Structure 1
Amino acid sequence: MPALILLTSYLLGSLVSGVLYSRARGADIRGRDLPGASGTYRQYGAAAAALVTGGDLLRGALAALLAQWAAPDLGWLAALGVVLGHCYPVFFRFRGGAGIVPLIGVLLVTAPLTLLLTLGVAALVIPAYRAWGQRRVGLNAVPFAAAVAVPLGMLFAARYGGLPELLAGGAVMAARSLHLLRRGGAA
């Protein structure tokens, strides 16, 4: 059962909404930006970003729901799989996004209070980072805020639930963010 949850979640994660959207528009967003919500917003506007965000949230929530149905204690495998698939999608030559929104989708199902508190921290960090650090660090504000908010979210998760999911998804996101920084801070 664990292998099936991980594989199914990974395959769901590999259906990267931003890549699918951009290809439907006749291009591949990854040539210019990351295929997540913020990259889609920069390349195609708010309506496209909302559509991509909805698809990414849905994939994360669906992975979590499938895990809860099959083995409720293995939600962390759903988080690991869907975020890993989004960051390194098998269908798109292992070049995906940062994994933030699919993890939010998982937490929406498994730990909504932890999600709310963590998003609150991110909402405070983003404007400060944009004002003082984005030009120096070179990473988009959303992945940076996630790198700050996820460790604090772990404190919330220890109390309100979702710690295994946050650890699993957060580890993949951290590795992906480091990879992007080494590559020159793309998006």
Structure 2
Amino acid sequence: MPALILLTSYLLGSLVSGVLYSRARGADIRGRDLPGASGTYRQYGAAAAALVTGGDLLRGALAALLAQWAAPDLGWLAALGVVLGHCYPVFFRFRGGAGIVPLIGVLLVTAPLTLLLTLGVAALVIPAYRAWGQRRVGLNAVPFAAAVAVPLGLLFAARYGGLPELLAGGAVMAARSLHLLRRGGAA
């Protein structure tokens, strides 16, 4: 059962909404930006970003629901698989996004209070980073905020639930963010 949860979650994660959307529009967003919500917003506008965000949230939530149905104690495998798939999608030559929204989808199902508190931290970090650090660091604000909010989210998760999911998904996101930082923030 664990292998099935991991594989199914990985395949769900590999259906990167931003890449699918941009290809439907006749291009591949990864040539210009990251395929997540913020990159889609910059390239195609708010409506496209909302659609991509919804798709990414849905994939994370579906992975978590699958895990809850099959083996409730293996939600962390769903988080690991869906985020890994989003960051390194088998269908798109292993070039994906940062994995933030699919992890949010998992936490929406498995640990909503932890998610709310972690998003609150991110909402405080993003404007501060944009004002003082983005030009120096060169990474998009959302992956940077995730790199700050996820460790604090671990404290919330230890108290309110979702710790295994946050650890699994957060580890992949941190590795992907470091990879993107070394490449100058490009996809």
Calculate the TM-score normalised by the size of structure 2. Answer: 0.99
Q: What is the CA–CA distance in structure 1 between the aligned matches of 2:83 and 2:66, rounded to whole Å? A: 15
Q: What is the CA–CA distance in structure 1 between the aligned matches of 2:121 and 2:150, rounded to whole Å? A: 9
Q: What is the CA–CA distance in structure 2 between the aligned matches of 1:73 and 1:181, rounded to whole Å? A: 33
Tell me the equivalent position of 1:33.
33
Tell me the equivalent position of 2:73.
73
Q: What is the CA–CA distance in structure 1 between the aligned matches of 2:47 and 2:21, rounded to whole Å? A: 12
Q: What is the total number of aligned residue pairs between the two structures?
A: 187
Partner SS for 1:81: helix
The superposition leaves residues 6-36 of structure 1 with CA deviations (integer Å, 9 ceiling, x where unpaired) of: 0000000000000000000000000000000
Q: What is the CA–CA distance in structure 1 between the aligned matches of 2:36 and 2:131, rounded to whole Å? A: 22
Deviation at 1:176, TM superposition (A): 0.2
RMSD, aligned CA: 0.6
Partner SS for 2:34: coil
Which contiguous aligned blocks of 4+ residues in structure 1 show a shift greater than 4 angstroms?
A: none
Q: What is the CA–CA distance in structure 2 between the aligned matches of 1:34 and 1:135, rounded to whole Å? A: 17
For structure 2, the 5+ residue unaligned runs are none
Q: What is the CA–CA distance in structure 2 between the aligned matches of 1:178 and 1:141, rounded to whole Å? A: 14
Deviation at 1:39, TM superposition (A): 0.3
Q: What is the CA–CA distance in structure 2 between the aligned matches of 1:184 and 1:16, rounded to whole Å? A: 21
Q: What is the CA–CA distance in structure 1 between the aligned matches of 2:184 and 2:166, rounded to whole Å? A: 26
Q: What is the CA–CA distance in structure 1 between the aligned matches of 2:90 and 2:115, rounded to whole Å? A: 28
Tell me the equivalent position of 1:52.
52
Deviation at 1:184, TM superposition (A): 1.3
Q: What is the CA–CA distance in structure 2 between the aligned matches of 1:69 and 1:185, rounded to whole Å? A: 37
The superposition leaves residues 135-179 of structure 1 with CA deviations (integer Å, 9 ceiling, x where unpaired) of: 000000000000000000000000000000000000000000000
Deviation at 1:186, TM superposition (A): 2.1
Deviation at 1:185, TM superposition (A): 2.1
Partner SS for 1:96: coil
The superposition leaves residues 121-141 of structure 1 with CA deviations (integer Å, 9 ceiling, x where unpaired) of: 000000000000000000000
Partner SS for 1:113: helix
For structure 1, the 5+ residue unaligned runs are none
Tell me the equivalent position of 1:123.
123
Q: What is the CA–CA distance in structure 1 between the aligned matches of 2:84 and 2:95, rounded to whole Å? A: 11
Deviation at 1:120, TM superposition (A): 0.1
Q: What is the CA–CA distance in structure 2 between the aligned matches of 1:139 and 1:183, rounded to whole Å? A: 10
Q: What is the CA–CA distance in structure 2 between the aligned matches of 1:129 and 1:25, rounded to whole Å? A: 32
The superposition leaves residues 36-94 of structure 1 with CA deviations (integer Å, 9 ceiling, x where unpaired) of: 00000000000000000000000000000000000000000000000000000000000
